[in-house]
Amino acid sequence: MRIERRFTKPDQAGQERAAYAEIEFRKALSEIKNPDGSVVFRLDNIDVPAQFSQVAADILAQKYFRKAGVPARLKKVEENDVPSFLWRSVADEAELAKLPEAERYGSETDARQVFDRLSGTWTYWGWKGGYFKSEDDARAFRDELAYMLATQRVAPNSPQWFNTGLHWAYGIDGPSQGHFYVDPFTGKLTKSKSAYEHPQPHACFIQSVQDDLVNEGGIMDLWVREARLFKYGSGTGSNFSMLRGEGEKLSGGGRSSGLMSFLKIGDRAAGAIKSGGTTRRAAKMVIVDADHPDIEDFIDWKVNEEQKVASLVTGSKIVKKHLEAIMKACVNCEGHDDDCFDPALNTALKREIKAAKKDAVPENYIYRVIQFARQGYTSMSFKTYDTDWDSDAYLTVSGQNSNNSVSLKDNFLRAVEADGDWQLTARKDGKVLKTLKARDLWEKIGYAAWASADPGLHFNTTMNDWHTCASAGAIRASNPCSEYMFLDDTACNLASINLLPYRKEDGTIDIAAYEHTVRLWTIVLEISVMMAQFPSKEIAKLSFDYRTLGLGYANIGGLLMTSGIPYDSDEGRAICAALTAIMTGVAYSTSAEMASELGAFPDYDRNAQNMLRVMRNHRRAAYGDKDGYEKLAVNPVPLVASDLKQQALAEHARAAWDRAIELGEEHGYRNAQATVIAPTGTIGLVMDCDTTGIEPDFALVKFKKLAGGGYFKIINRAVPEALRTLGYSESQIAEIEAYAVGHGNLNQAPGINPSTLKAKGFTDEKIAALNAALKSAFDIKFVFNQWTLGADWVKETLGFTDEQLSDFSFEMLPALGFSKKDIDAANIHVCGAMTLEGAPFLKAEHLPVFDCASPCGKIGKRSLSIQSHILMMAAAQPFISGAISKTINMPNEATVEDAKNAYMLSWKLALKANALYRDGSKLSQPLNASLLADDDEDEDEAVEQFIAAPAAQRAVQVTEKIVERVVERLYRDREKLPNRRKGYTQKAVVGGHKVYL
């Protein structure tokens, strides 16, 4: 294949690497310290591209740099059939022997080492596989890839950073870990002899499970296969619908214990792997078809387990309270001998026993504590539980280690619409075991998703209508994040394009550069299939046969905001659709181009008609057709070209699909799938993306990390660019920014400023101290305290007492006589509104541009609707081979009906999958526990006002109760969390893993 240079120039005489000729690099420090100052991690004097933020530099240094075994001296290993610039390297033992032993091996210290390791390995395997026309094409390929990595244009999934190139670049090797690969030159399935020669670059797996207890491919074998994937940080999904339901007959006699009994074993196994010191929590997806006999139990699984947690937490505290009261009644009794332990003679004991029985404390426990007291003990231990997501209460219950999804076919959803019946059938003979109303099951799904954030839904008919390889079998499952949907026992490796660098200064998209990037990274992912090893024979074979790829993008939210276009707008959705259509069209045309040179994927001929039908449907959507689709139960949302200002986007989208089909009809395709939209968690950080995957932005004010530790507030970088695009002057932009971020001092603040403070007795010195502390403060009230001003001065000059200063609820500003109105106005001036609502100069019609996933700041009211998320997904879905990983965030006030409507809309707009998360739907996210302090129990009015407030406002109130002050740290310290703390918890989903922040 010919490889064009777009970003780089060929090496000149005396020039080592042209890829970095135009890129500035800087020295950086990355470290983590313990509170006592001891260093946990430190890499000093590392080299990173100058444009990398401290966060991106930290991700590179702490996660992606190889930390050990990198030789300080290398030598090339000559290979006759490989150009010298692609020869692999090994340790130069003779040169290493001249160095002190401690200096011979170490860590990667330069980002260029990582970029070269990746780009060089891909090019090396590409050369061996015959992907390049000439050495110049191979050099161009390597340089272009290195440039794109260094300029944060693209990033592969994390396993590539971890594993790819260690053998090629440094000669690092190790014993085989039980992996397999298909030899690309002989087509023979081969057991790996090396841990690194063939890297494992795949992150996403789908595995089958048969209705067999102990044989290969069966239930217990799946737990072993899952454990192997979890150990190396990969995720896996399986459809368990082949397993018989509870009570179904077994071939050897007896009855099945049912699906749920085995899911609980798998859940325990995944939980054990999580706690076993592996790379990350087990990432696991469990899918069950809607006609399974145990589907109702599956839907209710997490709801019931959450109820158990509530019971454990509440019950343990009630029991402990009563048992302690009974013990106290026995111990404090003034009667004689056994009289104290007889409720007929000890009225206090009788009263406490009655109270305990009333609260359903088990009688044997009541009797036990009395016996204990009779033996002379004065206290007893009784463990209580809390709702922390990683607490013993959650560890005790099941179902916490997987994402659960129900697979629905269209006949079920139509039965819901028609209020029809739905049948649950036996797994072996198809006999109807139960008939219920489809709407009753739908109600269960809606309530469970509303109450516990599970299950998500797979729209199975739509998934299979767009299946390129239907002749090979149906799509039944997905990876844990639900973006990769294909045959069982296959794997996908991902890469994501950062869209923002492709926006030109005039606001248009550099389409040629974007298409060039898509083409090269399609080749990268194809080469990755060729060079990879896999954790099982089946996955190695099928991944070789179908060669599925997962190219995607990130930062669509950042791109739209920067361009002054609302996320929830027809134009925004059209841009998303066009960029997605171009990406997948170019990816498939590149796949067909590779097929012309290297052959189509091995099982293409059997699936050619299906694949070309799917390609034509993609093209119809790119042309904006509303009907005429082939064999689709639900028509997709097509690209509406008239909504685009840059008409070239629609033209290139149509041209890309024309070329993809033209080449595919002639040569076939090298890959059965080409694209997905993944969550882009860690790789989004290394690319400094404002937004991940297809997500909108989440905040208008963010916190920038400092090289030596600490943070400071900055406006989201998309905001000033958006304001310029919308026509605001630089002075207006500065005022709008200051409104959002704050001025950082009290000078000229309304209500509370140097003049009003001096009238209260403040000196210039104390005002300067306040201003210094306010630079990084969230709220001015956290700075007005004895630590900023000095306890002695506060008592002597301002007249506050020790009792006031030691009271957690004491606030100095109201005590000084400032009104709430004054405090709020000054707070916005100094610390910023954290939103653009109410900003000076900003026109009301421009506010939608700055809408985020949740309301911003204390006073922010606006946020994107539930429907806007689904509509954006629907705009992209017709142009994606797989699906879109996204969780629809719903406000706490959302109803069960809202949940059902969101799922129904997702189906009608031809999405393949969706999941919901309602704010506060997990017990581990307390909304108001911290605010309702013990001494406020009788303040009913305050409590009612709090409960009536929106969830975001409640979160702010909780935060205000917790935070005393903000101090900018000079060093990054590792701080061990206390065993118990009060706080507001926000759930995020990254790479399919639920994280509570």
* Burial of 949 from C-beta contacts in 10 A (0-12 / 13-18 / 19+): middle
Comparing 21-30, 95-104, 921-930, 949-958, the range with the smallest average pLDDT is 949-958
Who contacts 940 (Cβ-Cβ below 8 Å, separation ≥6)? none
CB 694 within 8 A of CB 555: no
Q: Given this model, what pLDDT does residue 625 score?
A: 97
Q: Span 637-655, mean pLDDT?
A: 98
Residue 710 has pLDDT above 70, yes or no: no
Residue at token pair 């737990």: 223
Look up residue 114 and give its two tokens: 């990582």
Domain locations in the chain as residue ranges: 301-394, 754-831, 942-996
How far CA 761 is from CA of 754, 768, 795, 802, 872, in Å, comes to: 10, 14, 12, 19, 56
pLDDT given at position 435: 97
Q: Which of 107-111, 655-659, 963-967 has the lowest mean pLDDT?
A: 963-967
Vertex 620: Cα angle to 615 and 624 (nearest 5)? 145
SS3 899: helix
For residue 924, pLDDT over 70 is answered with no
Tokens standing for residue 770: 């306040």
Q: Long-range contacts for 813-822 (Cβ within 8 Å, ≥24 apart)?
A: 813/752, 813/780, 813/781, 813/784, 816/760, 817/760, 818/751, 818/752, 818/756, 819/751, 821/751, 822/750, 822/751, 822/752
Helix (H) or strand (E) holding 665: helix 647-667
For the stretch 755-788, pLDDT in tens is: 999 999 999 999 999 999 888 788 898 899 988 9
Q: Would you state the pLDDT for residue 971? A: 34
pLDDT at 401: 83
- Split at pLDDT 50, 70, 90, the class of 411 is very high
Q: From residue 762, give the alpha-carbon distance in Å to each of 39, 812, 964.
A: 41, 13, 21
Mean pLDDT of all residues belonging to the chain? 88
Phi, psi for residue 916 in degrees, rounded to 5: -120, 150
Alpha-carbon distances, residue 313 vs 308, 454, 485, 958, 997 (angstroms): 9, 22, 39, 21, 21
Q: pLDDT value at position 227?
A: 82
Beta-ladder partners of 175: 194
Integer CA distances (angstroms), 268 to 102, 263, 271, 274, in order:
43, 9, 5, 10
- Reduced to 3 states (helix: H, G, I; strand: E, B; else coil), residue 314 is helix
Residue with the bigger pLDDT between 390 and 332: it is 332
Q: What is the dihedral of CA 679, 680, 682, 687, to 10 degrees?
A: -150
Instruction: Give 380's Cβ-side CA count (13 Å radius).
Output: 25
Query: Which residues form the catalytic set?
Result: 479, 481, 483
pLDDT at 978 over 70: no
940's tokens:
């009913």
Helix (H, G, I), strand (E, B) or coil at 717: coil
Share above pLDDT 70 across residues of the chain, in percent, rounded to a whole number? 89
**CA–CA separation, 763 vs 635, rounded Å?**
71
Out of 705-714, 791-800, 815-824, 832-841, pick the least confident.
Answer: 705-714
CA separation for the pair 523, 529 (Å, rounded): 10
Tokens of 630: 């082939």
Q: How confident is the model at residue 39 (pLDDT cuts 50, 70, 90)?
A: low
Angle subtended at Cα 404 by Cα 401 and Cα 409, rounded to the nearest 5 degrees: 165
Which pLDDT score is estimated for 707? 55
**Residues 601, 212: Cα–Cα separation, whole Å:** 32
Is the pLDDT reported for residue 958 higher than 80? no
pLDDT of residue 42: 82
Given pLDDT bands bounded at 50, 70 and 90, which one contains residue 701?
A: confident
Where does the pLDDT of residue 396 fall: very low under 50, low under 70, confident under 90, or very high at 90 and above?
Answer: confident
Q: Is residue 956 pLDDT above 80, yes or no?
A: no
**Dist CA 617 CA 638 (whole Å):** 10
Amino acid at site 663: L
263-277, 478-492, 690-704, 730-744: range with lowest mean pLDDT: 263-277
3-state class of 670 per DSSP?
coil
Please give the sequence-ordered ranges of beta strands (E in DSSP) within 479-548, or none if there are none.
485-486, 490-498
Q: Which of 605, 616, 553 is nearest to 876 (CA)?
A: 553
Helix (H, G, I), strand (E, B) or coil at 712: strand
Closest C-alpha to 673, from 534, 490, 517, 514: 490
Examine the pLDDT at 989 and tell me if it is beyond 60: no
- H/E element, 701: strand 701-705
Whether the per-residue pLDDT at 928 is higher than 60: the answer is: no
Task: Supply the pLDDT for residue 995.
Answer: 53
- Rounded CA-CA distance 991/480 in Å is 8
Question: Lowest-confidence range among 432-436, 455-459, 502-506, 700-704?
Answer: 700-704
**Does residue 983 carry a pLDDT above 80?**
no
Q: What is the DSSP letter of 634?
A: S
Most confident of 598-607, 703-712, 988-997: 598-607
Q: Residue 973 pairs with which residues in a beta bridge? A: 33
So what's the pLDDT on residue 33? 61
Region of poorest pLDDT, from 36-40, 191-195, 661-665, 883-887: 36-40
Number of Cα atoms under 13 Å in the Cβ half of residue 55:
17
Banded pLDDT at 753 (limits 50, 70, 90) = very high
So what's the pLDDT on residue 16? Answer: 63
pLDDT at 501 (0 to 100) = 97
**Segment (H or E) for 448:** helix 438-452
Is pLDDT larger for residue 280 or for residue 168? Answer: 168
Which of 510-519, 593-602, 791-800 is least confident?
A: 791-800
Q: Under 8 Å CB-to-CB from 897, ≥6 apart: which residues?
A: 446
Question: Model pTM?
Answer: 0.87
Contact indicator for 161, 279 with CB cutoff of 8 Å: no
Residues 6+ apart with CB under 8 A from 369: 323, 326, 327, 330, 380
Quick count: other Cβ atoms within 10 Å of Cβ 678? 32
3-class DSSP assignment, residue 950:
coil
pLDDT tens, residue by residue, 221-257: 888 888 878 776 678 999 999 999 888 888 888 888 8
Q: Which pLDDT score, from 0 to 100, does residue 126 have?
A: 97
Q: Output phi, psi for 491, to 5 deg.
A: -135, 160
C-alpha torsion angle, residues 252, 255, 259, 262 (rounded to 10): -70
Strands 711-715 and 701-705: antiparallel
Spatial contact of 46 and 30, defined as CB atoms under 8 Å apart: yes
8 A C-beta contact, residue 187 and residue 56: no
Give the Cα separation of 296 and 824 in Å (integer). 50
Instruction: Write the single-letter amino acid at 555.
Output: N
What SS3 state is found at 368? Answer: helix
- Per-residue pLDDT band at 943 (split at 50, 70, 90): very low
| Model confidence at 387: pLDDT above 80 | yes
Res 852: pLDDT: 92
